[in-house]
């Protein structure tokens, strides 16, 4: 697919890249979430009381493995790790907010954790470290270029 | 000096020496014409304040002389011409079909190119839909009018093939100003090129500013009229090769397709039109947008107008080229303040469409605005391009030196005044000191202290002025030195905002994105309708999920997935913060107080240890 602009921005060279504190926090969160999901999933699979519980457990375990993978990617400042964890947080937040507003069945702990993840991954230095955004350029031109004009 | 012609030349010769070359976009249907055949083919109407329309002179009977006949009308009346009479359904269908055939015959069909709909994103596209709907409520030029106007104009061109500009030469403050006014029978930007508006008749203008040196006139600036830019931003210096294209000493203009707007560079320009929403709603949206950009660091900081609809003005220059040495040459028609059709007819030059925001109403003539007030570009052509404060190059050094002399004299005055006032101040200071230790002089000392403060402030102000003048003088002397050395400085130093064509990489999307852009808004609306019918119980939750899915899907096609996910996540996180605070405000307050206490304790303990 032809894309008008490549979203991936060249991140800093690996040796000089430093891991911002919020990144470590986000990675620990991913690790915690992954470990919890994996443990919960394996437990459900081992209990094996019904086929639906088995399937639910398997999905949980798979999600746990994914979260652990994301945690490693976050630790290693991988671009895809940031994208995956932000998407995860968006899905989680949407789910919890819908539960809060329309179904009266929210999980506030999940909501708080996802919120924390979003705010940990959003600052400019974090996005720069992951190569999500480019370093803002110092504008030397005197003229501010504007968009077009109307006839 | 460059491209000079004798200063004693007649106005027509001066106009011809610097007349622009205008390059139009393929698909353009209307070109600059003489006003006379247009008026002959139009009827004259008046719109009364009570809304009544009355035909004053029928089509075929109107001439330039009859146009300017004095006519009485109550306050609030609007005189206007009608190039196209009201069309019935049959005439409309016939006009549309014939205009299409005409385009085919002339091989001038316009192709927007893939990506026009995709450029704005889903929300601006919804805005675009609302804007189109607003045309039903606002007055607008009927759809087939453009087609009928094109056929009528084509007929006029068969008999009267000349491409005409109305040229005017005016002399102000040592500048000789050449104005080239271009009159078009119709502006089909909306109907022909997916733009903002259509209106009968159109006026565009290019101005060349000349100065006299050694008995010859030379060009220094050129300004292209624009709705979105004002003052100095309109003009480019004659030697600015990056911005201004010249062919044999003639400036090149790239005209927007349908809009006829003038651009310095070839390309496609993205224009943004604010949605017609109430002022308070717009202010609130701007405040939210500011918070989003500056506080949360989201989106493009320069995009300040959130309620906007993007439109493209295609100034490709791949169509007809008119001007000296081109496929078609100009026929000039010299006008001035005494030209009766320009001076005496204050009405609109085309249909009054009753559009309250005026986009679809025809413009007035070159001397007047739509409301009949004088047009600044006519009565103040220097101020129009911010040149009222700029001397001609030969007078610049004199002006600089004059300013230097004035400032040096002021500096001398200031030096003397500062010396004198400082001496006075010191005398007062000594007197004040002598009062110290004498309690019975307390009231006098208080009054004196106030006076000393006032005088000290005056001296401080004089010293500041002298210091500022020093800096200004330094700048003036440097400028004189550079001018004498032949340096002319940065040709774009005066520009604050300039239109730039959108880069190709941001304009072209693939066919899948274009297809999606064409159908997405309708699909979304159908989806909502289905949800309301199929699952009325959870319609809000499902609507949110549906809209989110559309937005994310759109972002994948547009290649903006990461940015979109981040923006949506930040938005959701902000809502979650509010929800969590409302649910757990006591706990949050306790946590905040505990954190504050811990922080203060840490600070104090560190201080204690130190």
In a domain, A42, yes or no: yes
Least confident of B111-125, B192-206, B326-340, B342-356: B111-125
pTM above 0.80, yes or no: no
Within a domain: B606: no
Distance from CA of B545 to the nearest CA of A (A): 8
Q: In this structure, are B360 and B447 located in the same domain?
A: no
Number of separate domains in chain B: 3
B512 and B476 assigned to the same domain: no
Q: What is the pLDDT of residue B385?
A: 95
Nearest CA in chain B to A9: B562
**C-alpha of A37 from chain center:** 16
Question: Total structural domains in chain A?
Answer: 1
Domain with B523 in it:
504-599
Query: Domain for residue B562, yes or no?
Result: yes
SS3 B195: coil
Tokens in use for B471? Answer: 């800096």
Question: How many angstroms separate the CA of residue B135 from the nearest CA in chain A?
Answer: 18
Q: Tell me if B501 sits within 8 A of B249, measured CB to CB.
A: no
**Residue A62: inside a domain:** yes
Residue B297 pLDDT > 70 = no
Q: Do B228 and A148 touch (CB under 8 A)?
A: yes
Q: For the residues B340-345, what does the mean pLDDT come to?
A: 96
Closest-CA residue to B166 (of B392, B338, B333): B333
CA distance B268 to B258: 13
pLDDT tens-digit readout, B83-106? 998 888 888 889 888 888 888 887
Distances (CA, A) of B351 to B147, B156, B602: 15, 19, 76
8 A C-beta contact, residue A45 and residue A57: yes
Q: Does residue B495 belong to any structural domain of this protein?
A: no
Q: What range defines the domain where residue A32 resides?
A: 19-130
Instruction: Tell me if B604 is assigned to some domain.
Output: no
> Does the pLDDT at position B508 exceed 60?
no
Report if residue A97 sits inside a domain. yes
Give the tens place of pLDDT for each residue, A80-107. 999 999 999 999 999 999 999 988 888 8
In this structure, are B314 and B419 located in the same domain?
no
Least confident of B75-79, B355-359, B594-598: B355-359
| Domain annotation covers residue B237 | yes
The answer to which of B122-126, B231-235, B452-456 has the lowest mean pLDDT is: B122-126
**Pair B392, B7: CB distance under 8 Å:** no
pLDDT tens digits, B30-85: 999 999 999 999 999 999 999 899 999 999 999 999 999 999 999 999 999 999 98
The Cα-based distances of B254 to B21, B111, B245, B268, B315 in angstroms read 9, 17, 10, 10, 6
What are the Cα distances from residue B541, in Å, to A45, B532, B564, B569?
A: 32, 11, 20, 17
With respect to residue A137, please indicate whether it lies within any of the assigned structural domains. no
Q: Is residue B608 assigned to a domain? A: no
Task: Work out the minimum CA distance from A77 to partner chain B, whole angstroms.
Answer: 16
Do the Cβ atoms of A114 and B573 come within 8 Å? yes
pLDDT in tens, B455-503: 999 999 999 999 999 999 999 999 999 999 988 889 999 998 888 887 7
How far apart CA A88 and CA B229 sit, in angstroms, is 45
What residues of chain A, 63 to 122, have a C-beta less than 8 Å from chain B? 83, 86-87, 89-90, 93-94, 96-98, 100-103, 106, 108, 111-112, 114-115, 118-119, 122
pLDDT of A17 reads 57
Shared domain for B302 and B267, answered yes or no, is yes
Per-residue pLDDT band for A3 (boundaries 50, 70, 90) equals very low
Q: Residue B224: its chain A contacts at CB < 8 A? A: none
Task: Find, in chain A, the residue whose alpha carbon is nearest to that of B514.
Answer: A2
* Per-residue pLDDT reduced to its tens digit, B129-155: 666 666 666 666 677 889 999 999 999
Are residues B499 and A151, on separate chains, in Cβ contact within 8 Å?
Answer: no
User: What's the pLDDT score for residue B118?
Assistant: 62
User: Mean pLDDT over residues B376-386, rounded?
Assistant: 94
Contact B565 A93 (CB under 8 A): no
Position A113 in a domain = yes
Provide, rounded to the nearest whole percent, the portion of chain B with pLDDT above 70.
Answer: 89
| Percentage of residues of chain B with pLDDT beyond 90 | 58
| Cβ–Cβ contact A124 with B under 8 A | yes
For tokens 């350029």, the residue is: A137
At A73 the pLDDT is 92
Alpha-carbon span B382 to B209, nearest angstrom = 9
Question: Does residue A5 form part of some domain?
Answer: no
Q: Which of B36, B498, B448 is nearest to B234 (CA)?
A: B498
Taking the alpha carbons at both ends of chain A, their separation in whole angstroms is: 34
| Residue B37 to residue B62: CA distance in whole angstroms | 10
H-type alpha helices, chain A: 21-47, 51-75, 79-98, 108-121, 124-130
| Mean pLDDT, residues B373-390 | 94
Mean pLDDT over each residue of chain B, to the nearest integer: 88
pLDDT score of B119 more than 70: no
């Amino acid at each position: 697919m032809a894309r008008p602009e490549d979203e991936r921005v060249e991140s800093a060279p690996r040796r000089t890249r430093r891991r911002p504190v919020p990144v470590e926090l986000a990675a620990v969160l991913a690790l915690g979430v992954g470990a919890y999901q994996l443990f919960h999933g394996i437990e459900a699979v081992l209990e094996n009381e019904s086929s639906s519980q088995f399937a639910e457990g398997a999905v949980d375990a798979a999600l746990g493995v994914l979260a652990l993978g994301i945690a490693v990617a976050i630790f290693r400042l991988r671009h895809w790790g940031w994208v995956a964890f932000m998407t995860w947080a968006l899905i989680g937040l949407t789910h919890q907010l819908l539960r809060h507003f329309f179904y009266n069945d929210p999980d506030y702990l999940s909501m708080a954790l996802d919120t924390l993840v979003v705010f940990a991954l959003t600052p400019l230095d974090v996005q720069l470290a992951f190569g999500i955004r480019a370093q803002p350029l110092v504008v030397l031109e005197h003229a501010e270029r504007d968009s077009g004009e109307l006839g | 000096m460059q491209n000079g012609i004798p200063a004693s030349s007649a106005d027509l010769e001066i106009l011809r020496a610097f007349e622009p070359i205008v390059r139009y976009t393929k698909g353009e249907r209307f070109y600059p014409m003489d006003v006379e055949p247009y008026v002959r083919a139009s009827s004259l109407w008046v719109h009364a304040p009570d809304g009544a329309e009355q035909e004053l002179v029928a089509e075929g009977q109107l001439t330039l002389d009859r146009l300017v006949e004095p006519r009485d009308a109550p306050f609030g009346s609007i005189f206007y011409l009608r190039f196209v009479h009201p069309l019935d359904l049959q005439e409309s269908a016939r006009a549309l079909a014939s205009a299409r055939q005409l385009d085919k015959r002339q091989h001038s069909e316009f192709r927007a190119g893939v990506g026009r709909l995709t450029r704005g994103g889903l929300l601006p596209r919804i805005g675009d839909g609302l804007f189109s709907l607003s045309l039903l409520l606002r007055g607008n030029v009927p759809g087939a009018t453009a087609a009928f106007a094109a056929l009528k104009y084509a007929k006029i061109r068969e008999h009267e093939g000349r491409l005409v500009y109305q040229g005017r030469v005016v002399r102000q403050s040592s500048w000789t100003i050449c104005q080239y006014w271009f009159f078009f029978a119709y502006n089909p930007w909306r109907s022909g090129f997916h733009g903002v508006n259509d209106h009968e008749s159109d006026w565009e203008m290019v101005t060349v500013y000349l100065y006299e040196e050694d008995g010859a006139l030379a060009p220094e600036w050129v300004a292209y009229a624009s709705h979105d830019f004002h003052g100095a931003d309109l003009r480019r210096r004659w030697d600015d090769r990056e911005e201004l294209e010249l062919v044999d000493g003639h400036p090149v203009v790239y005209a927007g397709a349908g809009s006829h707007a003038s651009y310095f560079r070839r390309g496609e320009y993205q224009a943004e039109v604010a949605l017609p929403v109430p002022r308070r709603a717009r202010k609130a949206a701007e405040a939210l947008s500011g918070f989003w950009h500056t506080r949360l660091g989201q989106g493009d900081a320069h995009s300040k107008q959130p309620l906007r609809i993007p439109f493209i003005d295609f100034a490709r220059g791949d169509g007809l080229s008119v001007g000296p040495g081109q496929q078609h040459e100009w026929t000039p028609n010299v006008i001035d303040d005494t030209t009766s059709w320009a001076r005496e007819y204050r009405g609109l030059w085309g249909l009054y469409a009753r559009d309250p925001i005026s986009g679809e109403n025809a413009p007035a003539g070159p001397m007047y605005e739509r409301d009949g007030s004088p047009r600044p570009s006519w009565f103040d052509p220097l101020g129009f391009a911010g040149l009222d404060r700029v001397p001609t190059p030969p007078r610049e050094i004199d002006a600089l030196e004059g300013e230097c002399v004035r400032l040096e004299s002021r500096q001398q005055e200031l030096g003397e005044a500062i010396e004198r006032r400082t001496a006075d101040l010191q005398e007062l200071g000594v007197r004040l000191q002598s009062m110290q230790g004498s309690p019975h002089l307390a009231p006098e000392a208080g009054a004196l202290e106030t006076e000393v403060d006032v005088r000290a402030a005056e001296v401080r102000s004089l010293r500041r002025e002298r210091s500022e003048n020093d800096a200004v003088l330094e700048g003036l002397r440097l400028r004189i030195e550079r001018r004498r050395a032949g340096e002319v400085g940065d040709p774009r130093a005066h520009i604050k905002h300039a239109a730039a064509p959108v880069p190709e990489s941001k304009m072209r999307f693939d066919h899948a994105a274009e297809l999606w852009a064409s159908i997405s808004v309708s699909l979304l609306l159908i989806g909502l309708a289905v949800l309301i019918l199929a699952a009325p119980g959870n319609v809000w939750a499902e609507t949110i999920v549906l809209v989110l899915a559309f937005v994310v899907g759109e972002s994948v096609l547009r290649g903006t997935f990461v940015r979109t996910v981040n923006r949506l996540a930040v938005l959701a996180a902000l809502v979650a913060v509010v929800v969590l605070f409302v649910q757990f405000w006591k706990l949050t307050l306790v946590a905040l107080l505990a954190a504050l206490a811990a922080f203060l304790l840490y600070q104090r303990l560190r201080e204690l240890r130190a």
